[in-house]
Amino acid sequence: MEPLTEKKLKSLEFMANRLREDVIAMVSRAGSGHIAGPLGMADVFAAFYFHILKHDPKHPAWPERDRLILSNGHICPVQYAVLAHAGYFPVEELRTLRRLGTRLQGHPHRGALPGIETTSGPLGSGIAQSIGIALAAKLDAKKWQTYCLTSDGEHEEGNTWEAVMFAGKNRLNNLTVVIDRNNIQIDGFTENVMPLEPLREKYESFNWHVLEIDGHSFEQIIAAAAEARAIYEKPTAIIAHTIAGKGVDFMEKDYLWHSKTFKPGEAEHALKELRTLGGKIKSEHE
């Protein structure tokens, strides 16, 4: 993994902000979709696709690529945006989100788009899917890494914990799970709906190495991914504390924006705020 220079840091900040702009524009144009989660995970996606992952957009099926699995598929607008900017398909295609016949469905579908490793929809399945991929790599003596991005809310699913136990038992050190700990879900705050804490201790009790980070700090995201690669005896869970709706003042920390239709003027307000920030980042970079 290359060093994180000041120039690269600024480029990541600019890219994450651009991804947030794309999410707002895509969901607004579609008239439906999920917003808070994609905005909150933009920094994580930018860090992975533009610094951490070993991948080749020109050869999406490259056998030695790292695998990134999105478990909470409803936040796919940000994954679509980052794949487009990374070069997997034209950025202009983002305009087709959720349209009839589009490749950009409301949940990612393997085979529909290059760069999508698994089909997701039912929450709680992603870690199990990732375990199968990581285990296959072990059996074939492959060196690539498997990353699973998952939500905190889907940790209320029982099959999540079956998968967590299996990975710990089999010491899948080539597996890293990144948990979007934004504390919200569609019905409210996680600790009111179904408390998850102590989340760190639960993973540790199943033989996982656990890191807790600020999910909006590129330094911490990248350092955590590097540390995970250096752990040889167990899988790693990175609990990324994020702000749902990050970057838009009236959306931040409001669970109602998990999935919500824009009222007149709201999307324009959000885009204006993000574009102002993007201009500031760009000027600092120049």
Please report the pLDDT score of residue 122 as a whole number: 83
Strand-pair partners of 100? none
Taking only the tens place, the pLDDT of each residue in 68-108 is 999 999 999 999 999 999 999 999 999 999 999 999 999 99
Taking only the tens place, the pLDDT of each residue in 234-273 is 999 999 999 999 999 999 999 999 998 899 999 999 999 9
This prediction's pTM: 0.96
Please report the pLDDT score of residue 281 as a whole number: 87
| Bridge pairing between strands 236-241 and 184-185 | unpaired
Mean pLDDT taken over the chain? 96
pLDDT band at residue 2, thresholds of 50, 70 and 90? confident
pLDDT band at residue 51, thresholds of 50, 70 and 90? very high
Mean pLDDT of 17-37: 96
Q: Domains plus CATH for the chain?
A: 6-285 (3.40.50.970)
Taking only the tens place, the pLDDT of each residue in 169-191 is 999 999 999 999 999 998 999 99
- C-alpha distances in Å from residue 23, one per residue of 162, 197, 238: 33, 30, 24
Name the DSSP letter for residue 146.
Answer: E
pLDDT band at residue 228, thresholds of 50, 70 and 90? very high
Q: What span, in angstroms and rounded, lies between the C-alpha atoms of 84 and 79?
A: 9
Ramachandran area for residue 144 (φ above 0: left; ψ -120 to 50: alpha; else beta): beta
Q: What span, in angstroms and rounded, lies between the C-alpha atoms of 51 and 147?
A: 14
Residue 47 CA to its chain's centroid (Å): 10
- C-alpha distances in Å from residue 8, one per residue of 4, 227, 283: 6, 20, 14
Residue 286: pLDDT above 80?
A: no
| Residue keyed to tokens 């290059």 | 114
Total length of the chain: 286
Please report the pLDDT score of residue 285 as a whole number: 66
- Quick one: which of 71, 78, 70 has its CA closest to 46? 78
Taking only the tens place, the pLDDT of each residue in 109-145 is 999 999 999 999 788 999 999 999 999 999 999 999 9
Residue 284: pLDDT above 90?
A: no
